[in-house]
Amino acid sequence: MFKNIIAPVQAWLLLQGRCVGCGKSLSKGIRKKGKEEDTVTCKTCGRIFIFDKNKKIYRRAPLITRG
């Protein structure tokens, strides 16, 4: 039930170009350029996002587990 409340808020924040953790603008984040996508790290909380240059939208980066 909690996820049903949080997911729309997180989607709205990403559409606004804001971090889902702290609400700060991702345009001020640390960028690593790629061909089609940039990796953006929030300067405030360290969350990682992917910016799709073609669609011009942000999304959460998948978690990578190290084994």
Decide if 23 is inside a domain.
Answer: yes
pLDDT of amino acid 1? 72
pLDDT of amino acid 8? 94
Domain count for the chain, please give it: 1
* CB-CB contact of 23 with 39 (8 Å): no
pLDDT of amino acid 3? 84
Decide if 53 is inside a domain.
Answer: yes
- Residue 37 domain boundaries: 2-60
Reply yes or no on whether the pLDDT at 58 is more than 80: yes
DSSP symbols for the chain: -HHHHHHHHHHHHHHTTB-TTT--BGGGSEEE--SSEEEEE-TTT--EEEEETTTTEEEEPPP----
Decide if 45 is inside a domain.
Answer: yes
